[in-house]
A and B are shown apart, each in its own frame.
Chain A
């Protein structure tokens, strides 16, 4: 049986020692709010070693730009990662968004400072905490973010 696609992505990143924080809808689910999402959002560290590891982690999963024409040449390597910042990708394991900078939060160091550690699929994952999620949702301000803010407020109440 195929492992679940989130597990494939997590395994690929962790086994290649990529430094990242889970953010977005998956983080919200991990923190306790069940809601649909279609991609795996991570905030990644921008140092050279991490970019090398990130490119190596995703290479076997055939990453390509989401929504771009199929014949558009694209290679996710260190120069590409250095030249860009935020990437929305499709891979053979599912959709993943790589964010070097998160609106309302900042880069990896800021996300790491607001992360909780969760044990998932045998790995320790850094997951953006409720305060961090609240900041990103307020900054984005889309209708779905307002709905999420309501849920975050309820989760906070339950945690006391």
Chain B
């Protein structure tokens, strides 16, 4: 009984999150080859890293702390 309830709650959550998926973006991604998908991921990772470095260089460490830290 408990396992059935757990399955149901997963199902509900999955359906909830599936609603937020941008289907058009997913379709575009599926048109790419697996290698193109990896290169796209790497470009995203490089951008994130560069943004982090730029922030670290521009903002003093004290100012980067969030309130309450």
Q: What is A's interface to B at a CB cutoff of 8 Å? A: 4-7, 26, 29-30, 32-34, 36-38, 118-121, 127, 138, 146-147, 149-155, 158
Q: Which of A36, A119, A127 contacts B48 (CB 8 A)?
A: A36
Which chain A residue has the least Cβ–Cβ distance from B6?
A138
A152 CA to B13 CA in the complex, in Å? Answer: 12
Known interface pairs A34-B25, A34-B29. Does A154 touch B45 (Cβ–Cβ under 8 Å)? no
Which chain A residue has the least Cβ–Cβ distance from B43?
A4
Provide a sorted-by-A list of 9 A–B residue pairs whose CB atoms are within 8 angstroms: A26-B38, A29-B37, A33-B29, A36-B44, A146-B14, A152-B14, A154-B23, A154-B26, A155-B30
A118 CA to B38 CA in the complex, in Å? Answer: 11
Please give, as numbers and ranges, the residues of chain B lying within 8 Å of A147 by CB-CB distance: 17, 20
A121 CA to B38 CA in the complex, in Å? Answer: 10
Q: Do B13 and A146 touch (CB < 8 A)? A: yes
Q: Do A29 and B38 touch (CB < 8 A)? A: yes
Which chain B residue has the least Cβ–Cβ distance from A138?
B10
Q: Which of A36, A38, A121, A153 contacts B15 (CB 8 A)?
A: A153
> Which of A29, A119, A152, A158 has most chain B Cβ within 10 Å?
A29
Is B42 an interface residue when CB atoms closer than 8 A count as contact? yes
Known interface pairs A33-B29, A34-B40, A37-B41. Does A153 touch B35 (Cβ–Cβ under 8 Å)? no
